[in-house]
Chains A and B, each alone.
Chain A
Amino acid sequence: MYGFEALTFNIHSGYLEAIVRGHRSGLLTAADYNNLCQCETLDDIKMHLSATEYGPYLQNEPSPLHTTTIVEKCTVKLVDEFNHMLCQATEPLSTFLEYIRYGHMIDNVVLIVTGTLHERDVQELLEKCHPLGMFDSIASLAVAQNMRELYRLVLVDTPLAPYFSECITSEDLDDMNIEIMRNTLYKAYLEDFYRFCQKLGGATAEIMSDLLSFEADRRAVNITINSIGTELTRDDRRKLYSNFGLLYPYGHEELAICEDIDQVRGVMEKYPPYQSIFSKLAYGESQMLDKAFYEEEVKRLCLSFEQQFHYGVFFSYIRLREQEIRNLMWISECVSQNQKTRVHDSVVFIF
């Protein structure tokens, strides 16, 4: 019952909530980012990071560092923390944490299928997969020729199986179809996650529905912008939008017929929460849209920590860590390519 979670939440999840809040205090602050942005080489970055919580993970790396190594080790830290929480969680928190992984599973599946299409080696692709989204039979994805085989051979045993009902066709896999498959799977996953959170009720439902609605709306805008000028029809585009969120259903109607970015802006400015995002961009500019969306997402994720006794903090923490890893990757790339003036283009400060 909403309002009375405090009485029984701590029985099963009090310890884990306290742990996740402890991890949150270890996220890098603006001062850390300022230090990192002023580094000259990747070794400087490693030295600064060894004073933070990433220290134990980076200290054994040999000296000519690559940006991919830094990102990989930071991801290992995230995965360790996630697995630690997952083993100690009971139902329904354990199902909730598993849902967080499905998004990464979808990304990994699409990565391997696309890579196979472009004739890359399976082992190389497996190394690029996100560790949170690994599952047992992932390597056999390389064998499938079309979506029906993909489903029948591999995915029917995974938790992604129920999301495939909308996109099983016998067409061969090519770039366009794979993107459509990715977006259809992600749509089904978001709707499933949304329904699960609604079923949990209480503060979790309220906070998660806000975060997931923002995610669904952001994906709708990205799908629209990316499909302007491609051969994706309006109906196909419409089918890729999720069935919840602030933009559902009238915003989706309008987004489906947009043909350029200014029309998208016109649609989004009717919704006050998104108007503030789009007002930061000058007319005709779309490169900063990603960063504006990330900033808004980080703001909402941080707000979810203000309330106690709900599961939203776990979701928020994982997302904030991922944002931090993206920041570190961008800073490392800028430093290693000597483009330090562009560092602040894409770094989103969390605190």
Chain B
Amino acid sequence: TPYPQWPYCRKRCSYCNFNTYVVPAVDEAAVRACLLREAQTLLRLGRVHSVTSVFFGGGTPSLASPHTVGAVLEAVAGAAHLPAGAEVTLEANPSSASASRLAGFRAAGVNRLSIGVQSLDDAELRLLGREHTAEEARKAVEGARGLFPGRTSIDLLFGLPGQSRDAWAPRLEGALGLCDDHVSLYQLTLERGTALAAQVRGGALPTPPQDLLADVYHTARTVLVAAGFRHYEVSNFARKGAISTHNLSYWRADQYIGVGPGAHGRFVPRAEGGRSREARVQTLEPVAWMREVQSQGHGTRSRAVLSPLEQLEELLSLGLRTDEGVTHERWERFSPQLSLQDVFGAPGEARALQQQGWLVLDGGGLRCTWAGLAVLDSLLPDLLWQLQRV
């Protein structure tokens, strides 16, 4: 599943540490040409027959023109089979999601929209350094729902410095009234090097207490589930079947191809004779990336073969983030010799965690319980250690 990146934004939000660039002018034609070229090169490299989904990420993909989006999709269709019903998602910022613009994207082939709302409170939006107001976000979501009914997702953040427990419940209600059938609810992570992290570290803003974050998360889960959502991944909720196919590909360790500056991918470069899944990263800096694409067809900065153990480790760590967990069939694909039962069924860490109520290992595979999902990172080191020993 191709994962093209549009690595440009109009401004950097205070909490963002992505590989994105704020530049006065973008030579869209040049960038587009390189995206097309790299997409074709890598799809051929992976000998991809059929594409399951496409996801335009970044940066702010809604800053690119619908023309660019359309051209990338055409290039993908040219190099592999792009089925008519394949999920094509575009990430959008409310400030570049006018009705006409969104219509343009739909015409270009986009059939799902993910809007970065983050918060419905103006003060919080300012704290986050967002470009839009709550009202603008509301309008954008409504417009999107009109064009992509049942296929609109909103991103929300919680755990902002200074956010109180009491303020959260009404916020959530407000979001529920607005959203479509998919919500990505992320706890704000203060990443090193961001303006917001510096403010908290310097003492200008308070650090959100651990217990508050736990409470907010648990409340949110409960409320969303009560509203009919399925909590299908740590931070992702969907109802009426509106699960994101693209994101599942990460958690199920399917293949995905990152295209564009800083994009990440996981696939087997079969055309080169490769037999193993590789972890690949494209060159971060756009100008350097373009040069490489122009001269070599793609700008892959690093590639590392993942050993069978490493692949299993990723499958385990990511798969357990979903409510489905890791199924026996999927595990078997990566570990034909040793089944889930062989590794985790014997007396050991996994057995203990099961007894304590954090995990389940049964006919459906290995997965976290409702409570276990919230503390997954406390369970994983034990499980990885158990896996390594085998």
Do the two shown chains form a genuine complex with each other?
Answer: no
Give B residues with C-beta under 8 Å from A: none
Give A residues with C-beta under 8 Å from B: none
